[in-house]
Amino acid sequence: MHLLSNRSIGLCVLAGLLAALAAGTATAEGDKLDAAHASVTDALQALKDAPPRGDSAQFEDHRKKAVTLLTRAQGEILKAKGLEAPH
């Protein structure tokens, strides 16, 4: 009986350690996703603030494409975090 009790305690401790490790990993991944989302937000703002260069029609086309792709990236980051992307 004593051996079974020690084994049960050991398994509980092991399960707790594994749960803590998983929670720590999830937090680290969430932090990285938060950082990625912030970087994309900064890039979007930089594109919106950038003055036109050269052929302004061509510049505007490329800027619009970049904004579209970065907006999609933001949505994918939110999905990766388990959140719903705004429509």
Predicted pLDDT at 86: 62
* Distance (Å, whole) CA 12 – CA 82: 29
Of 73, 69, 80, nearest to 32 (Cα)?
80
Query: Residue 87 domain-assigned?
Result: no
Give the count of domains, the chain.
Answer: 1
Residue pLDDT tens, the chain, 87 long: 444 445 555 555 555 555 555 555 556 667 889 999 999 999 999 999 988 888 888 999 998 999 999 999 999 999 998 887 665
Predicted pLDDT at 12: 52
Query: Residue 68 domain-assigned?
Result: yes
Give the range of the structural domain holding residue 44, as residue numbers without chain letter: 2-80
